[in-house]
């Protein structure tokens, strides 16, 4: 069985991420979306909240599983019994960082390969960071992420607090 891992922060998940999840689900028998418990950053949603949100928006996608992880992506990939990392590439600006990450991961774990999917054109500009910025100024984020997620972002920003996890 060909298992791939799609690691990321998903804070919050956008239509761009969902595009990569859906398309990788067609390429692999199973895709495990790894949600990073990122201690260094101060995310809008805790890792548990991000996992719950992702589970809701991927309901009905039979070969997609959502799991939290901390530490190195390649170690998580091994724990999952996988040897492929999926990442989305939006533009040339992503390339340098993604190449560096893929090459580092390959030195750490030569059995793990990174497969890049180019983001669909309609989502090529989209990032979780810009979504949060637009939302923080009360802008319309409905074109960027599913209605349920947009509501969660608005509620969290209205609450005026971050998860801190
Ligand atoms: O959604 P993001 O924030 O672009 O995802 C980045 C992620 C989670 C893939 C990356 O930060 C990562 O793999 N972090 C885990 C730590 C790690 O393995 N670092 C080595 C790769 S340079």
Q: Work out the pLDDT band at 162, boundaries 50, 70, 90.
A: low
Ligand 1 atom closest to the CA of 10, numbered from 1: 1
Which residue out of 24, 30, 50, 128 is catalytically annotated?
A: 128
Candidate from 5, 8, 94, 97 with most ligand 1 atoms within 8 A of CB, to mutate: 8
Question: How far, in Å, is the centroid of ligand 1 from the Cα of 102?
Answer: 10
Whole-model pTM: value is 0.95
pLDDT of 164 higher than 50 = no
Q: Work out the pLDDT band at 116, boundaries 50, 70, 90.
A: very high
Which is more confidently placed, 8 or 40? Answer: 8
Distance between CA atoms of residues 29 and 20, nearest Å:
15
Q: Work out the pLDDT band at 161, boundaries 50, 70, 90.
A: low
Q: What is the mean pLDDT of residues 7-14?
A: 97
Predicted local confidence at residue 163, as pLDDT: 57
Is 128 designated active site?
Answer: yes
Distance between CA atoms of residues 151 and 112, nearest Å:
37
Q: What is the mean pLDDT of residues 12-39?
A: 96
Residue pair 28/3 in contact by the 8 Å Cβ criterion: yes
Predicted local confidence at residue 159, as pLDDT: 73
Predicted local confidence at residue 91, as pLDDT: 84
In terms of DSSP bridges, do strands 3-8 and 84-89 run parallel, antiparallel, or are they unpaired?
A: parallel
């Amino acid at each position: 069985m060909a298992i791939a891992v799609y690691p990321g922060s998903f804070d919050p998940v956008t239509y761009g991420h969902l595009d990569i999840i859906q398309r990788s689900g067609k390429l692999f028998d199973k895709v495990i979306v790894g949600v990073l418990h990122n201690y260094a950053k101060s995310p809008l949603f805790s890792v548990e909240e991000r996992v719950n949100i992702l589970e809701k928006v991927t309901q009905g996608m039979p070969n997609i599983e959502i799991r939290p992880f901390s530490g190195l992506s390649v170690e998580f990939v091994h724990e999952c019994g996988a040897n492929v990392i999926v990442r989305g590439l939006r533009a040339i600006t992503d390339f340098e960082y993604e190449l560096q990450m893929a090459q580092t991961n390959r030195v750490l774990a030569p059995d793990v390969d990174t497969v890049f999917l180019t983001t669909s054109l309609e989502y090529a500009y989209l990032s979780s960071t810009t979504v949060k910025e637009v939302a923080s100024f009360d802008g319309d984020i409905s074109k960027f992420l599913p209605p349920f997620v947009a509501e969660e972002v608005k509620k969290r920003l209205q609450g005026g607090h971050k998860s801190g996890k």
